[in-house]
């Protein structure tokens, strides 16, 4: 099987797993809601309608950013209650209303709390006149992919960052750090830009955003219910369902992310006609990341999954103990293996050595 077909098969399998996980998560939340309603027996109608009205009011406040939206609570509750009384709902209908309201509130809260990537990357949009070489290169590469020319945003950080931000091609910002621009030659920078715009052409932002829905919802439920000490009957089963979904979702989305990175590598190599340029760029940036202090990597960890290379240290630091510094930490062998296992499951990028090997194979095909 060719590498192109293998990538396509891996993507199809990953998307299938994510769809199944999403449906399973929604079913789990619904079953918990239904089970609790059956336990309540009496008063379920009031509990569900009041709870749904409160959650929808939270959504309204979060969406508008205005506390005055709290005044809508009695109106929302009366509307839901009147509809429920009129339709004489069963426990199944009430469970659907309650779980839908919960998920809508969690989704709104989670996405409202996420800041823009540019702010996280500390990048500022620049005019073409202020970065003419980068703009010319981006324009040329965008034409190859038939996508709109992105807005160029530059970060003054020395950490080697490169990412394309934006769900729709028309609104994409190409974020580059000065560390990246200074480290690369013109050909290498063109290859990096080609890799990032390949993500735009492949609609990877939309794919990964859709793929992250179950993980975001599950993390939101877990975060907001972990501190719930007033009703453990409600919190425990939902937190269990959310934790299992978040864990499995991270594994699958990380796998899908690795597939998309390989696809972008291949597309960039074909667009520029030089797999060697991208390989050289990856090697240079990887070396720069290894030389970057851990504190600087922690500062950009929030955008690590979006950059061309992961901006985080995936190794466990070994601190020797004892008066002479010759005593190995307890269970060091176990910690190393657990870290390797975590990298294998949750790594968002393929290992750089593996990417270089794939690019070398493409270079050999072009000769």
E strand residue ranges, the chain: 123-125, 151-155, 162-165, 173-177
196 in catalytic set: yes
Distance from chain centroid for Cα 97:
28
The catalytic residue among 110, 190, 196, 261 is 196
If you ran DSSP here, which 8-state letter would residue 305 be given? G
CA-based end-to-end distance of the chain = 21
Whether residue 321 contacts residue 350, with contact meaning beta carbons closer than 8 Å, is answered with: no
Task: Map tokens 């979006």 to a residue.
Answer: 306
Provide the β-strand partners of residue 154: 124, 176
Q: What crossing angle do the helices spanning 213-225 and 91-113 adopt, rounded to 10°?
A: 100
Task: Map tokens 């939101």 to a residue.
Answer: 220
Three-state secondary-structure class, residue 225: helix
Which residues are marked as active site?
196
């Amino acid at each position: 099987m060719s590498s192109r077909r293998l990538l396509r098969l891996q993507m199809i399998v990953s998307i299938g797993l994510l769809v199944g996980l999403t449906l399973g998560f929604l079913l789990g939340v619904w079953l918990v809601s239904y089970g609790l309603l059956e336990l309540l027996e009496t008063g379920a109608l009031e509990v569900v309608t009041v709870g749904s009205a409160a959650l929808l009011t939270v959504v309204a406040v979060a969406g508008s950013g205005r506390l005055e939206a709290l005044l809508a609570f009695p109106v929302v509750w009366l509307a839901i209650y009147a509809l429920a009384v009129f339709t004489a709902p069963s426990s199944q209908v009430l469970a659907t209303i309650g779980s839908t309201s919960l998920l809508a509130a969690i989704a709104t809260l989670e996405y409202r709390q996420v800041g823009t990537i540019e702010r996280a990357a500390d990048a500022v949009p620049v005019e073409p006149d202020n970065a003419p070489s980068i703009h010319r290169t981006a324009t040329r590469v965008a034409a190859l992919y038939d996508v709109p020319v992105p807005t160029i945003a530059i970060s003054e950080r020395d950490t080697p960052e490169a990412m394309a931000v934006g769900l729709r091609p028309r609104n994409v910002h190409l974020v580059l750090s000065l560390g990246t621009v200074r480290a690369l030659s013109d050909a290498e920078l063109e290859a990096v830009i080609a890799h990032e715009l390949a993500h735009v052409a492949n609609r990877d932002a939309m794919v990964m955003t859709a793929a992250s829905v179950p993980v975001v919802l599950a993390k939101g439920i877990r975060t907001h219910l972990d501190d719930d000490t007033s009703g453990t009957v409600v919190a425990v089963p939902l937190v269990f369902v959310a934790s299992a979904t978040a864990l499995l979702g991270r594994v699958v989305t990380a796998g899908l992310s690795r597939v998309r990175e390989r696809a972008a590598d291949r597309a960039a190599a074909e667009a520029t006609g030089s797999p060697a340029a991208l390989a050289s760029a990856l090697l240079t940036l990887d070396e720069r990341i290894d030389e970057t202090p851990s504190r600087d990597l922690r500062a950009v960890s929030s955008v690590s999954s979006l950059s061309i290379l992961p901006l985080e240290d995936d190794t466990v630091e070994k601190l020797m103990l004892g008066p002479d510094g010759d005593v190995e930490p307890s269970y060091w062998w176990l910690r190393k293996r657990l870290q390797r296992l975590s990298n294998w499951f949750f790594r968002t990028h393929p290992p750089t050595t593996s990417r270089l090997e794939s690019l070398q194979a493409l270079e050999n095909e072009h000769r």
